[in-house]
Amino acid sequence: MWLVGVWEPLERLGGNVLYQLRPDLGWDSRLAAIVIDENSLQAYGQFPWPRSRYVELLQALAKSPPAVIGFDILFLDPSDDDDALAAAIKADGKVVLASVGYQETVDGKIQQAIAEPLPVLKAAAAATGQISHTPGPDGISREATLFFTSEPALGVAMLQLYHRSGKFPAVELPSPPPNANVQKVWLNWPGPLQSNRTSGIIDAIPTYPFVDVVEGRVPPNAFTDKLVLVGYAAEGLDTIVSPIQKMPGVYLHAALIDNLLNHRLLQRLPAPVTWLLLLGIGLGSSWLQFNRKFPQRLALSLLLPVAWLGIAFAAFYLGNWWLPVAAPIGTIVLSGSANTLRDQYEKQQLMSLFAKQVSPEMAEMIWSRKTEIFRNGELPAQEMTATVMFMDIRGFTTISETMAPPELFAWLNEYLDAMSNCIMDCEGAIDKYIGDAIMAVFGIPFKRNSLEQIKRDATNAITACLAMHDQLQPLNENLKSRGLPAIKIGIGMHTGSLMAGSVGGKRRANYSVIGDTVNTAARLEPMNKQFTDNNPYNLLISGDTFELVKDTFNGMQVGEIQLRGKQESTKIYTILGKK
């Protein structure tokens, strides 16, 4: 997304925010400006002026000689005063005149060219510097054109002359690009032009109206050894918008000079480094938010952007680096959203398997402990110990033959709903409905690591059976009052090792259990028909299950049989009640 410029408009806004947060750096004290303002226009008439006015200005500046004078004014067309102005420029010896870069088409090819000052003026000047400038897409000036082909910016040309004099400390200056292309740099605007933003008075850089300088209404040494820029300040002549405020265009060159003198041009990361940074932030924030609860993820989603904004601010203020702001914060938000969507998908997957099998409370517990059973978007099979229960209606085939289908289904569903509630209330999971039969499991989907947990599952299973017996009595009374058949049930139960996992294909799967434990419980259930004595709850359990619940429930061994396919005999118990 970064490479195709999606984030760049927001990055520009982020850069504006950094400027608003940062304390003012302060403009370099070696700068001064002479501006053609409203007072000057009122005194000398509307622009353009005769060039004799600039002769007067240079003569006035001779009383307080600047180090360099840079004109942010183009002298491209001839006039009657050109010779006089050329003589004044040559006499001063420290004047840099403005040129401007443009594009032209030659033989069908676009080429870059420079519009220079009049030859007579260029010959008299110490140097020329281009004032080409294009604001950003949002109209804000963040860049300066350092070189247009081999022509340096006005500010660069002024500093070259400044250092050639040998009177001032040397500053490392950029060289022209080897391929004669346009070279731009990011400006680090030092601050507003007003020390008091509400006053409207430009004083952060000493600034004097043109008319006051010519008529001697400035301090005697106001420009001595200064880098003086001459340009427009009247409304409508040359206005730019910096990330801080709207201002006259001459201060764009002042900002470039300030940055070069103080080695504080803004730097931005190369595109490949930015891409790697965003990749690292995306992976890191995803890792930090992975498998965390929503409040934790929400806190991270708030703290991580604030932390990055702090890093970007420190780099901007202390290191003159304009790091991306919007893209990393957006990446953090997107990675958090991706984690949330992944969680929602996994929750949907889990809930689609468990929502109809367990109580809502159990379903939420399963979700909160999903990392124990969910791996790479799937539910892998695992071996565990659980209690399996089978139950069905005695004589269901005969009953179904006497009832119309709509009536039969309503009667059956009323029964299944009542029994299912008892199972779920005791932390059991409905594995499946098989016609009139119910298969339920106690002890899934989390693996039990202690005997106490296995005992609790078996106890819950017996408790659910007793609750179903109690629930069946009022249900039968209600059915009889409506002329419907009463229901008798038989239950079989066994505890042992089994395999639990997702069973089915890609288009449809169920969470289920398989193994010998399931088969044993299924075979015990129909034996209720032969073991009717001392069996008040129509419940037969294996000896393994009874060993787990004998401290809680009274029971009696009623038989011992050799189940088909099993080498060892199975003891059969009934439950007589709770102790």
Q: Tell me the pLDDT tens digit for each residue of 148-179.
A: 988 999 999 999 999 887 777 777 788 877 77
Rounded to an integer, the average pLDDT of 126-130 is: 95
pLDDT score of 107: 76
Q: Is the pLDDT of residue 4 over 50?
A: no
Burial class (CB in 10 A: 0-12, 13-18, 19+), 480: exposed
State phi, psi for 342 to the nearest 5 degrees.
-65, -40
Rounded to an integer, the average pLDDT of 514-530 is: 92
Rounded to an integer, the average pLDDT of 272-290 is: 84
Q: Is the pLDDT of residue 371 over 70?
A: no
Please state, rounded to an integer, the average pLDDT across all residues of the chain: 87
pTM of this structure: 0.65
* 290: its two tokens: 């992975």
Q: Is the pLDDT of residue 326 over 60?
A: yes
What one-letter code names the amino acid at 52? S
Q: Is the pLDDT of residue 353 over 80?
A: no
Q: Give the Å distances, CA to CA, from 126 to 67, 149, 188.
A: 12, 20, 28
Rounded to an integer, the average pLDDT of 208-223 is: 93
pLDDT score of 550: 95
Q: How many Å apart are CA 128 and CA 98, to the nearest integer?
A: 6
What one-letter code names the amino acid at 497? S
The H or E element that residue 455 is part of is helix 451-481
Identify the three-state secondary structure at position 443. coil
Identify the three-state secondary structure at position 121. helix
State phi, psi for 295 to the nearest 5 degrees.
-60, -40
In this structure, which topology does domain 376-578 adopt according to CATH? Answer: Alpha-Beta Plaits (3.30.70)
Q: Is the pLDDT of residue 511 over 80?
A: no
Residue with tokens 């183009």: 74
247 forms beta bridges with: 240
Q: How many Å apart are CA 474 and CA 351, to the nearest integer?
A: 32
* 546: its two tokens: 């009874």
How many residues are recorded in the chain?
Answer: 579
Q: Helices (H) and strands (E) in the chain — how many of each?
A: 17, 20
Q: Is the pLDDT of residue 428 over 60?
A: yes
pLDDT score of 190: 94
Q: What's the gap between Cα 156 and its chain centre?
A: 41
- Whether residue 270 has a cis bond before it, omega within 30° of 0: no
Q: Is the pLDDT of residue 57 over 70?
A: yes
Q: Is the pLDDT of residue 346 over 80?
A: no
Identify the three-state secondary structure at position 306. helix
* 470: its two tokens: 């109690």
* 98: its two tokens: 């403005």
Cβ atoms within 10 Å, residue 102? 12
Q: Is the pLDDT of residue 344 over 90?
A: no
Rounded to an integer, the average pLDDT of 358-364 is: 53
Sequence-ordered alpha helix ranges (H) in 269-293: 271-289
pLDDT score of 490: 94
Beta strands in 283-428 (DSSP E): 382-393
pLDDT score of 2: 46
Predicted confidence band of residue 234 (pLDDT cuts 50, 70, 90): confident
Rounded to an integer, the average pLDDT of 464-484 is: 94
Nearest by Cα to 454 from 540, 554, 548: 548
- Residues with Cβ within 8 Å of residue 80, at least 6 apart in sequence: 50
Angle at 347 between CA 343 and CA 348, to 5 degrees: 120
Predicted confidence band of residue 520 (pLDDT cuts 50, 70, 90): very high
For the chain, which residues make up each domain, given as ranges?
Answer: 1-25+267-354, 30-261, 376-578
Question: What would you report as the CA-atom Rg of the chain, rounded to the nearest whole angstrom?
Answer: 44
